[in-house]
Amino acid sequence: MKLLLIELKQLLKKHSLWQQQSPDVTALGSQQPFAVDTLEPHEWLQWIFIERMEVLLQSGSELPKGFEITPYFEEVWKQRSELNEILLVLKQIDEAAK
């Protein structure tokens, strides 16, 4: 999983979707799935998903199982074929989480 997260970060940077500054605390505290009310999809990946997965990996905690995030990103990025390589990595992450 660690290598997939590294690859995901690299692809977000490649497509200029990586941000240097974190969204405000209120935006990060959204209770909606994927923080759809406060964050862009790529922001959720960077500031919530990747961040939490890295914390779990670093602490040696068990990673969550049985989730699928790819369908959401396929829908929100359906008009952005240049992001298909990110979707491929997300599919691999979903597979690893089964």
DSSP 5-35: HHHHHHHHHHTT---SSPPPHHHHT--SGGG
* Per-residue pLDDT tens over the stretch 14-37: 999 999 999 999 999 999 999 999
Total structural domains within the chain? 1
22 inside domain: no
Query: Residue 57 in contact with residue 1, Cβ under 8 Å?
Result: yes
Q: What is the DSSP letter of 52?
A: H
d(CA 88, CA 49) in angstroms, rounded, equals: 16
Q: According to the model, what pLDDT value does residue 32 have?
A: 94
Q: According to the model, what pLDDT value does residue 27 have?
A: 95
71 inside domain: yes
Q: According to the model, what pLDDT value does residue 79 have?
A: 97
Domain that includes residue 83, residue range? 2-16+36-96
Residue with tokens 């049985």: 66
pTM: 0.93
57 inside domain: yes
28 inside domain: no
Q: Please report, rounded to a whole number, the percentage of residues in the chain having pLDDT higher than 70.
A: 100
65 inside domain: yes
pLDDT band at 82; cut points 50, 70, 90 = very high
Looking at residue 1, its amino acid is M
